[in-house]
Structure 1
Amino acid sequence: MTAQERVERAASALKVFPLPSAVLFPHTVIPLHIFEPRYRALVRDALAGDRVMALGQLEPGWEGRYEGRPPMQPMMCAGIIIWDEQVEEGRYNILLQGVSRVRLVSELSNDKLYREVSAEMLPDLPYQGPEEEQLRQAVFELAGRVPPSFAENLLPVAARATGGMLADVVASAIVPEPDRRQELLGELDIKRRLEGVLEDVGELIARLQPVRPSGPMN
């Protein structure tokens, strides 16, 4: 069974971890430290089953109601736990790999500590357009202005990725602000998503000076 099929099968009762500080994109991996009892239960149940869970954002104004069940933003990213480690006091370290955008349809009523939703799968359709090459060229230019270790991780992925995946992997690497990441996660039009990420890369290039090679110059 493919990762997409596993998420599709779980979509009718999808486990959700609302985390205001983090937004996951499809085709990318995020490390998470799970320490709250309700989300330890979520991870424990996921590991005992299909290993599928979603990362979501809460609607603005959640701060005073975090211990309850404040409204969640409808656009989420569902993924698969690809690595896990249980540490002291029943906590977990996990790596969650994004698989697909999903849209919250309804929240399920249950007696579990954590939240589950019925969700609609929103996989990207194939796309080809000039925005792909424009974004790749911008990433290549950015690579000359960032530390080599960062460029070495981003360049091979950007060279292979196409369409919506290209926008997602670049956005995951260069956009730190959760609100902007959520905005890009919610952009289902691939052309507009590529154009949006291209603008973000351009703004980052404008703020950075080229990295000068060390050592004597000829």
Structure 2
Amino acid sequence: MTAQERVERAAASALKVFPLPSAVLFPHTVIPLHIFEPRYRAMVKDALATDRVVALAQLEDGWEGKYEGRPPMQSIMCAGVIVWDEEVEEGRYNILLQGVSRIRMVTELTTDKAYREVQALSLPDLPYQGPEEERLRQAVFELAGRVPPTFAENLLPVTARAAGGKLADVVASAISPEAERRQQLLAELDVKRRLEAVLEDVGELIARLQPVRPLGPLN
């Protein structure tokens, strides 16, 4: 069973959700997480014993002061698969969560579990080809001359191979640190508009940075 099929199966029944206001996961990217709250330690333990599928979600505005309960979650999330795990002291976990697909929450389930579960629809990107792709690749190439070499060396090969919505997602994940902006890009389901939005963000970043070294051709 593919990762996409696992996500779709979990979404149709009971998808485990980790609301984390400080982090937004994109499809095709990986995020490291340290799990220490008892309810989410239980969630990870159950996920590891079953399909390893977990969704990362943002909370609606006004969640402060209500986090220990069940404050409303934003409907667009990213579901992923735990690709690496390590249990550490006191039953805590370090995990790597690999994003697989956007999902739209349909309803939150009422269960006796400490953590939250939803039913949802998977929202895989439709195929797309357009001039925005090459413009974004060239912008990333220009950006690479203005950032530390290790950052550029990681980003350039991925950008060269990715296309369509995946291209927008991997670049957004690399250059957009603010959770609010990342959630806006995650919630943009139109691939063309997402590429344009990420291109705008890269352009703004380029404008703030000075070139640090010459680069060869992007290939």
Query: What TM-score comes out, normalization by structure 2 length?
Result: 0.96
1:6 corresponds to which residue?
6
Q: Over residues 95-124 of structure 1, what are the superposed CA-to-partner deviations in whole Å (9 max), with x where a residue is unaligned? A: 000000000100000000000000011000
Q: SS in structure 1 opposite 2:201?
A: helix
| 2:166 is equivalent to residue 165 of structure 1 | yes
| 2:194 is equivalent to residue 193 of structure 1 | yes
1:31 corresponds to which residue?
32
| 2:27 is equivalent to residue 41 of structure 1 | no
Distance 1:10 1:117 in 2: 9
- Work out the percentage of aligned pairs sharing the same amino acid: 85
Q: What letter matches 2:7 in structure 1?
A: V
Q: Over residues 31-76 of structure 1, what are the superposed CA-to-partner deviations in whole Å (9 max), with x where a residue is unaligned? A: 0000000000000000000000000000000011110000000000
| 2:67 is equivalent to residue 66 of structure 1 | yes
Distance 1:61 1:143 in 2: 38
Distance 1:144 1:171 in 2: 18
1:68-83 superposed matches below 5 A: 68-83=69-84
**Offset at 1:212?**
3.9
Distance 2:50 2:122 in 1: 20
Following TM superposition, where does structure 1 have runs of at least 4 consecutive aligned residues deviating by more than 4 angstroms? none
Distance 1:197 1:153 in 2: 18
Distance 1:143 1:70 in 2: 40
Q: SS in structure 2 opposite 1:65?
A: coil
Q: SS in structure 1 opposite 2:86?
A: strand
Q: SS in structure 1 opposite 2:65?
A: helix
Change (3 A) 1:212 1:158: closer
2:51 corresponds to which residue?
50
CA RMSD of aligned residues (A): 0.6
- Unmatched 5+ stretches in structure 2: 215-219
- Unmatched 5+ stretches in structure 1: 214-218
1:93 corresponds to which residue?
94
**Offset at 1:90?**
0.3
**Paired residues, number:** 213
